[in-house]
Amino acid sequence: MEVIEAMRGRASTRAFLEKPVTKETIESVLEAARWAPSGGNTQPWEVAVVAGEAKQKIGDLMIEALRSGDRGKADYQYYAHRFPEPYQTRRFACGMALYDSLGIERTDKKARSSQWEKNYHGFGAPVELYFFIDEALEQGSWIDCGMFIQNVMLAARSFELETCPQAALAEYPDIVREVLGVPFEKKLICGVALGYPLREASVNGYRTEREEVGGFTKWYGL
Ligand SMILES: Cc1cc2nc3c(=O)[nH]c(=O)nc-3n(C[C@H](O)[C@H](O)[C@H](O)COP(=O)(O)O)c2cc1C
C-alpha cells in the first residue's frame, strides 16, 4: 500500500471480524514497524502480542475492576486534567461523532458506558498489542515509541488489517503486567486493537475531522 494512502485511510476501528490474525502476519507488521527512528537508535519499544485466553482475561479483569469502582491508575498522565481550547472542542466533537455513529444519545449513560466497556476487550479484535517502555527512559524515548506505534498501525494496513489505539487499556497497568508476567519497571504506554475490520459496522463508518494545514503551520522563509 502506498504510504500516503495508508496514512489518509487509517481510522480507529471499533468493530472487527472474528477472523484470527496469524502470528506470521503480526510478525511481518512488526518487522516493518521496527524500522522506526529513535534517538541514538535506542529502539525503546517493547510489545506484547496478546490473543486468546490471556486477552479475554485481561479484559474481564479490567471490566471487573471498573464495575467495582476502581478507576485504575495509569503509569503516566495521558490526558490533560483540563483541556483548554481548541482541544476541548475537538475532543467533544470526537466523542459526539462516535456516539452519533452508534445512535447513542448524549444523555444515555447506560449505552455510553456499555460502549466504553467494549474498549477492554479491544472492540472484539482478535489481537491486542500492548506497548511498554522501560521506566529508566525519558520523554524522548516515549516520542520514539509513538513513532513506532504509528508504524505498526500503518504497516497493519498493508495486510488488510485495521487498528484502534487505546489509552483505556493503559488505565490498569498492574492487571496487564500481572497476567502477562511483565516486570513492574516496564511501563504500559497503551494498547492497540488489531484485526480485520467489520467494514459495514456503523461505528467504523464515520471519519474524524482535521484542521487544515494553515491552522497549525507557520511558514518562515518560504
Ligand atoms: C494514544 C491514543 C489513545 C487512544 N485511546 C483510545 C481509547 O482508549 N478508546 C478509543 O475508542 N479510542 C482511542 N483513541 C482513538 C482516538 O479517539 C482517535 O485516534 C481520534 O478520535 C482520531 O480518529 P481516527 O483515529 O479515526 O483518525 C486513542 C488514540 C490515541 C492516539
- Nearest-angstrom CA–CA distance, 113 and 54: 23
Phi, psi (deg, nearest 5) at residue 188: -85, 120
Which residue is it, cell 498489542?
Answer: 129
Please give the backbone phi and psi of residue 164, each rounded to the nearest 5 degrees, phi first: -140, 115
CA-CA distances (angstroms) from residue 91 to 85, 108, 190? 10, 19, 19
At 25, phi and psi to the nearest 5? -65, -45
Most informative mutation of 7, 12, 98 for ligand 1 (most atoms within 8 A of CB): 12
Ligand 1, atom 7: nearest CA belongs to which residue?
Answer: 166
3-state secondary structure of 11: coil
CATH level 2 (architecture), domain 3-80+120-207:
3-Layer(aba) Sandwich (3.40)
Q: Which helix (H) or strand (E) holds 29?
A: helix 23-33
Tell whether the model's pLDDT for residue 147 goes beyond 90.
yes
- Inter-residue contact 152 to 192 (CB < 8 Å): yes
- Nearest atom in ligand 1 to the alpha carbon of residue 13 is 26
Ligand 1 lined by 59 (C-beta under 6 Å): no
Alpha carbon of 16 to ligand 1 centroid (Å): 16
Give the model's pLDDT for residue 107: 92
| Residue 131, Cβ density class (10 Å: 0-12 exposed, 13-18 middle, ≥19 buried) | buried
pLDDT of residue 73: 97
Tell me, what DSSP letter sits at residue 81?
S
Pairwise CA distance, residues 97 & 203, whole Å: 9
Mean pLDDT (the chain) is 97
Give the chain's length: 222
- Of all protein residues, whose CA lies closest to atom 30 belonging to ligand 1? 165
Q: What's the Rg (C-alpha) of the chain?
A: 18
- CA dist., res. 122 & res. 125, Å (int): 5
pLDDT of residue 161: 98
Q: Residue 215's pLDDT is what?
A: 97
- Tell me the percentage of the chain whose pLDDT exceeds 70: 100
Q: What is the pLDDT of residue 47?
A: 98
Sequence-ordered list of residues with C-beta below 8 angstroms from that of 216, at least 6 positions apart, any chain: none
- pLDDT digit string, tens, across residues 200-215: 999 999 999 999 999 9
Query: Is the model's pLDDT at 1 over the cut of 90?
Result: no
Residue 132, pLDDT score: 99
**Residue 204 DSSP label:** G
pLDDT at 28: 98
- What is residue 106's predicted lDDT score, i.e. its pLDDT? 86
- The whole-angstrom separation of Cα 104 and Cα 152 is 31
Question: Does 103 score more than 90 pLDDT?
Answer: yes
For residue 71, the model assigns a pLDDT of 93
From residue 19, how far is each of 115, 126, 127, 196 by CA, in Å? 22, 7, 10, 7
When comparing pLDDT for 1 and 121, which is higher?
A: 121
What is the Å distance from ligand 1's center to 27 Cα? 23
Percent of the chain with pLDDT over 90: 99
Which grid cell is 35? 524500522
Place of cell 480507529: 12
Q: Considering only CA atoms, which residue is closest to atom 21 of ligand 1? A: 94
Question: From residue 90, how far is each of 66, 85, 109 by CA, in Å?
Answer: 26, 8, 21
